[in-house]
Structure 1
């Protein structure tokens, strides 16, 4: 028997810490965005302005690398308003 077992609250806390770490790495752009993680291992970022979209696109390789390493997602989607700006894999093989 394990000395400690993870429950749903523990998993939610770990997910929260991973998201906070990810946000901290892109502190100039991501805190004003709506971030969603879904069950299909996709990170969706809803941007409030085109300037933020441009900043994220400029850092796309690093954004994808960190999303894959920290959050474990396989895809990333950027939205401005209701329009999808980008959909890409987070890893390159």
Structure 2
């Protein structure tokens, strides 16, 4: 079993690494649109990184939907079946 202090340290390291990665993405990639109104500058880069990842995920979802629509055949209408005479 992991001690409580180790869990806290691991969680803090995870959050710090995630913020550093998002900040790096936000600094490296320029997203079209208005500049985010976030201070300080590092928080702005982290928010920009989140926005870039969100837009990449959105475009990937749209692409996947288009591919699935191309692969799925349209539904084939079934002709109506004549009703049998059930009276004897």
Question: Normalising by the residue count of structure 1, what TM-score does the alignment of the two structures yield?
Answer: 0.32
Question: Normalising by the residue count of structure 2, what TM-score does the alignment of the two structures yield?
Answer: 0.33
Quick check: which has more Rg, 1 or 2? 2
Higher strand share: 1
